[in-house]
Amino acid sequence: MKKILLSVALLSSFAFAHAQKGRWYDLFSYNNVKVLADADDKIIAATENGIFYYTPSSGEITKLSKATGLHEVKITAFAYDKASKTMIVGYRSGNMDIVTENGIYYIVDIPMANQIVKKAIKHISVEDGVAVITVENGISLFDIKKREFNDTALFSFVINEAVKRGNTVYAATANGIIKHATDTSFPVSSTWTTVQSGNFTQITSGSVLAAATADRVVYGDNFATLSGSFTDVKDVSADKDILVIDGKAVYRYSLQGSLISQTNTDHTLNSALVKNGRLYAASELAGVITPENKSIKPDGPYNNKAYKLSLLKDEIWVATGGRTNGYNQPVSTNLGYFHFNGTEWKYPQLFLDSPAQFNVLDVVPNPENTSEVYFTNYKTDGTQGIYKMQNNVFVKKFEPQNNGSNSYFRPVGLAFKDGALLASIAYLPLDSQAGLYVLNKGAQDFSPVTKYSALVGAVQKPIVGSNVLWVPDPREGMGGLAAHLYNGSIAGLANAPVRYLTTQNNLPVDAAVAVAQDNSGDLWIGAGRGLRVLRNAEQSIRENNPTTEAIVIVQNNIPEELFKDTSILSIAVDAGNQKWVSTEKGGVFYLSADGQRTIHRFTAKNSPLPADEVYDIQIDKRNGKVYFATDDGIVVYQGDVANIGQDFGSVLVYPNPVITAQYRGNVTIRGLAERTHIRITDSAGNLVHQATANGGFYEWDLNNLRGSRVASGIYFVLMSNNDGTATKTAKIAVVN
């Protein structure tokens, strides 16, 4: 059974590598290094969402993540086997990746999986080709070469870490150090014996056996106690020396227990190792710390939490907050925002120094001056407000007039229009209504525009259209969509009439969570229980009782409403008018312009998405890159559609050649004109396929006009734009 499951995992990795290779990259944080390993000329650092390799002699850093081959995020344990040059990566889910020079193998058949509640892999150690895998209540022995599990022992108490030493396994538990020989009675927990009392959290086996409680370290066969005063031991290792990581310090002892050195750092540490006589430490917030106290890590945001993104030119801003309980209560992440300035990631000192708790729901730059940034702090403790930053340094906090109770005035989203900053506000002072504020260009404070008489409380980020300003309210049963008919004039915004869309306009239970206006002028409205479209939105909203439409698709000759009763989190429209829609716990759907066809569906299982809940999707229409924000990090997908026009861009066909034994998907042609006529012929000039592509790209399923797969050979792609003024050609090689 194990071999069959492993084969499935291999096929999954194979399909992953060929279908998505090169299309994804991560924007993960590599600050929190959990474990270090010595690998020939490199140091391997395992972090929350990936692994990076550091070569001390050259300073080179390379990384490995879910975007480049790993199968998951949230790494909870890691070990490296020097003999076989194999990495064993353990995840919060209880699954593992085995990373070898020949490939990455996904292990999902851990014997303990169906018998334990807490599946996260807590610790991995390696000796003589055997990996000892520890979970909350169990220990398994894993043969690295065969990639198979051997014996497993389950316990009624918590196991923290376990190691193999010779033919004996030792485990650190709250009840002491226990041990058992690797014999037939290994799985029987009652046959394990206690050899040292105490609440042990760490154990290691190198040149000697060593183990630790929070304030005591023992070593050797007789469990002698190391001299020293420890208060918070995070890790202990015992290779050429015994290393004790205690808070921000590393204590280095000889194998005989004599203190060699004490190294103090400015960082809270997780582990350490000695390589070529030099001490390297793994920190929680600064990557790998070198002997010179230098921080080594791939550049990335301060943390993996992401809620809302802003893109402008080559810069990125990441808001890290959130709301719960029906878009009501704040989620206090206390992280603030992260900023990529086009060269490197920055984290404002305000969020490191301030005693205030931050729940940043949105952060936006001034388009006329990107060094000027505003963010919303959605709180109920008096710290809420709209904050102005200059070069990531705090300048000013804006609050409304007559603030009243602290539980009111919760700023949510921001948007710039013609130099004015618009702010959607939840729970305005002294009532439960929502409303809109504006900071006009040159003004010193925000002024109110309106309160929404038909909406209650929550609101989302303003969406600026040409002649209508849209503000969604996601409170199910109480919300809807406000539309300011401002005709594009900020000066006339205060006097602009406001119309509302609710269930009377065919919205699902009044809620409007995500809104996007497409290239045709239609408004796509994602709600807590479905999707609606308002056709010709800016004109329709001016009519009496405009009606939104559901998208109806036909599957197996049965009409069905698209996303019926599904919670929509975000909607984005690319340059080709295709729609990107994220759903609660359902991943991301990439839809055709009319919503009738799903081009792709990305989930955490079939793609590098770190989680199935994607809170925000943003598209850089200059290059077609699609950004996804999740609680577990940001990933980017290279889409097929950048800004398109009547002419062709750089036409690319992939994969090419198409080798059927390796790839069974469609062939993509991108870089097309807005409307492209396509004819595909064989080498003799016979027509085998023809189509018209809208949106800048086309996918051919390799079938001919009769619906059968084409034979092996060379095929010519003849393309022309809509009026025939521009043409392109390409070749596709097919090997069946």
Per residue in 542-597, pLDDT (tens digit) is 998 899 999 999 888 889 999 999 999 999 999 889 999 999 999 999 999 999 99
Query: What count of residues does the chain have?
Result: 736
Mean pLDDT of 307-328: 95
Q: CB-based burial of residue 619 (10 Å sphere; 0-12 exposed, 13-18 middle, 19+ buried)?
A: buried
Q: Which residue has the tokens 């590599």?
A: 30
pLDDT in tens, 686-736: 999 999 987 788 889 999 999 999 999 999 999 999 888 999 999 999 998
pLDDT digits (tens, 9 = 90+) for 511-520: 899 999 999 9
Phi first, then psi: what are they for 533, rounded to 5°?
-130, 130
- Report angle CA 444, 440, 322 to the nearest 5 degrees: 90
Separation CA 485–CA 88 (nearest Å): 59
Report residue 422: phi and psi, to 5°.
-100, 140
Residue 382: Cβ within 10 Å count: 11
Residue ranges and CATH numbers for the domains of the chain are: 2-21+29-296 (2.130.10.10), 652-735 (2.60.40.2550)
Evaluate if residue 12 carries a pLDDT over 60. no
Residue 109 pLDDT level (bands cut at 50, 70, 90): confident
428, pLDDT greater than 80: no
List residues bridging with 629 in a β-sheet.
616, 634
Among 513, 491, 408, 477, smallest CA distance to 447 is for 491
Express each pLDDT in 271-286 by its tens digit. Answer: 999 999 999 999 999 9
**pLDDT at site 73:** 97
Give me the DSSP letters along 187-227.
T-GGG-EEEE-S---EEEESSSEEEE-SS-EEETTTTEEPP
Q: What does the pLDDT average to over 598-618?
A: 96
Cβ–Cβ < 8 Å for 102, 117: no
